Structure 1
Amino acid sequence: MNLMIVEDEIRIRNGLANGIAWESHGIEVVGLAADGKEALAMMEQRKPDILLLDIEMPEMNGLALAETVLQQEPQMKIVILSGHNDFHYAQRAIELGVMKYLLKPAGDQEIIAAVTEAARQIRQSLMEKHNVEELKRLWQSRLPQLQNDFLRNWIMNRYAEWEWRKQAMELNVGITGYTRFLVCVCEIDPLGEDETRFTAADSSLLQFSLECIAKEFVDPTVCQAFNDANGSTVLLFFAQEGEPDSELTKRANTVVSRLLQVVEECLKLTASAGLGTVFGPSEVVHSYRQARRALQERTVYGHAIAIPYLEVKKEEGTLEFNPNFERQLEIAIQTDEVDQANGLIEEYLQHAFSHASAELVHEYVLYLSGVFTRFIQSRGFSMKKVLQADYPIFRSLDSLTTKDQIMEWAKRVVGEVWYYMDSERRQCSHQMVKKILESVEKHLAEDLSLHSFSERLFVNPSYLSRLFKKETGESFSNYVLTRRMELAKELLTAGAKVYDAANAVGYQDVSYFAKVFRKYFGVAPSDLRPVPQNNSQK
């Protein structure tokens, strides 16, 4: 530890420097100064840790030196050795932060004790600082993974509300001020047969690349990117203050669609995404499950697409159900894991059959029927519509008399529930396309674009385009062209002028209309107008 002695009396200065065995106490005298001004000039080069100084000195006194030094080096330790037994001097020294105030003539042991105590405090402060810095370094290095783990657990509904709020604040995740969330799940699409750069063994690497691109692409102030337990990239969007759910949905669609384009540009591979709907913080798990379910629809709509979850409209009220066995069964059915659902049923009933009491087995069957009933009715479905031929069995469970009958009945119901839910989802898509078709018929004279319909329905244009083609068998643009040409033909054959027919189907430029019409039908519009009859009598 380095010591500088500042004393105007040369005898005392030399005595302090040479009369005490500083080395034996781990102290090295690195400088001697006659006043404060000289001490300041030496300090930059000598780098003392401790100052032992007098107060009364020419040029700059000890208190002025202490004030200047502590402003520049607040960690410096200062011991004053003064001949002034003045309260005001001591008070000012304490105000400045001087460690010790000794009165002359202080003994060597008293001086040594003060200086070595200063050295001890410096060493302790350095040790604590280094430990804190190391802890901060370790914390910062682990923070991204801790944040990822927290978000992953949160969307899986593994925290009570107070827990996730506390963890979010401690990990500086930055979501506690938001009340509405939307989850999107992104994955690299299955590799095609013509792909030569990568194989199935590279799937983890490709998913990691997708996550890295997403983290660089999204704005962390409005969306968090992380990975879930499956390695998929999850985007968690949060609504800004005053932003309606519809606007959050539209914004998420826009961001995700652009992200998929960026991924394709960077990796020369396609990725797809599923988008859930908007929920509050304690219900984010539902948005996540919806997003995963929507992503599975790429087997129907193709790759390189963002697919929204289609809500199924409820027909009646809802019932609450137990989250343990029922929740596992619910997740399996909702995510199309019918085999997994049947496995849960099988495990449950095997446990029921292990009981010798027929009455106890019957209670297990009653409970299972209640699980199915709550599951169906909680979605607003009609029991009779869903179960059809199996509906009477729910009213007379005593008709199930053997283990095989019970097992077959339970698995059959699982299949019926899944099939009905899948049909309802597809019906939603039918309804969406039906609305578009009806709107097209009413507005053929106006500017029609898929983009305007996608904004109105809160879905992205790519998804809507593929949905339309899947339902109608042709592209949206071709369909609109066909309807316009057919209507124009009807009007012309009924006697309408070419100009009026063109305007009726959205063409302001008559010559361009005539060109399109000729290309479509192979004849000019004027050729379809009826020839006037000559009614004169001979």
Structure 2
Amino acid sequence: MISVLVADDEINIREGIQKSIPWTELGLYSVGTAKNGDVAWSQIKNLQPEIVILDINMPGMNGLDIAEHIRNENLGSQIIFLTGYDDFPKLKKAIELKATDYLLKPVVLKDLHNALEKAKNQIKEIRSTQEYIKNIKGKLKENSEITTNKILIDFLYQQRSYTETIEKLLDLNVHFQMRKSFTVICAEMDEFEFLLEKWNIKDRNLYIFAYRKIVQEILELFGDGLIISEYPGKLTLIVSCEYSATDPRSIYVYANISEEVQKKCAKFLGLSISIGVSNIRENPEEIHESYQEAIFALNYKSIVGPKSIHYYQLIHPSSDSMIKTIGKELFLLNELKVGNEGMVKEILNKFIIELKKYKINEAKIISSQLLIFAIRIISNKGIEEKKLKIADPLSKIYRAETNSQIIDIVTNCMSNFTDIFKQQEKIKNPKIIEEAKKWIKNHLSEDINLNSLASHLHMSPNYLSSLFKQATGETYIEYTTKSRMKVAKKLLLDPEVKISSVARQVGFNDSNYFSIAFKKSEGMTPTQYRARYL
């Protein structure tokens, strides 16, 4: 069983999570809740939960501060952030802190279940990794391949210098030539824990061997390099080529290697692979920094989803102005979700004007951020990848040589995404709107509002308001008022029912206010209506 702590300053969310999660069924148990950041950090230090559900904004220490403390003190907890749209710019920091996932409020129970499952699987993977490393240390003398791998792992973790590492490899007859530039690529099997359950021991060994063999053949075809197996399912490549770091051809070499690994593993092994690629460098003593960049990029699959390639160069804003521009993308994404083609084009045109002002590397980062979060929205809606007309747009941006090329990629992608969302809304809107109408009808006697309806449907109020108007031609208030007046007119035809009672039954505690609203809607007072039709 894996321990979980929930920290959120909103009691409804805090207690709602506590009561709604089937802890035992998920193989988890709760160690309690915390109502603010200070209490949460105290409990984390004392209880050391393996999973922490953290609200980003809390009184006292906020969620990011707590997460930073967890990482600095190597407590090892998996972190799930709860966040609102206003916290969008903070997501980069959350990724740097290696959060398992982030969930937008109001929290959807299914998403929370998935996040907990992901955290649980990562804990299992870490345990598997620790066990694997322990076994490596116990068998180092068995063969030179394991010894080589251990030397390279030590090098990645800065326990050996580059010079010492090359000397040790030569002693083992392993030759590596560092050419003009290099990059580090981290390639990881998606859903590896599921695959372990699916495979028997023989299949597992066969797939891991074949995975490494395919990567080795690709590496030999495109450049020179070393392969490190940190743990089963993940390979780290140190790749070098004959082009300098500033030569655009080096980008093509490293992008081709990454793409070929994905394609060949899918074609021959049926495996989904996610990849993180570092910046391109020339000084081999900086391989450790490149490795950290590749890991950071790989972690972006928690946002976009599996079977993705992420280039560190595209996801690391280098200035405040860039971060502000990335924040503005939120408005574009909101309109995209609704399938509002007109607003998407209007906001996109303004976005493109800003994009033209940046240097090409900065434009690549900003554009990639937009597409990453757009793809995440598509993934969350369960839209099939084959509906995307542009395959792997992030790699195309990585290869782009001008801002104009980047703008063309973004424009085409956003047009494709808008069409997809418009089609999805046509399919699902009737069901959502019918559910909304049913809820309004069943709660007409209560003091209801758009927020309460949105909460029931697990949607944001702004999104629901736009969707409702788009589907019915009326605002939420217009529809609710019309529904109330329809029921009121029926009740007024019964002379035994007092007007004050009619008012209460359609959600008006003040009969005078009801009379004013009725007259505004029907052109006469309730008394006049009753007199006319009785």
What TM-score do the two structures reach when normalised by structure 1? Answer: 0.33
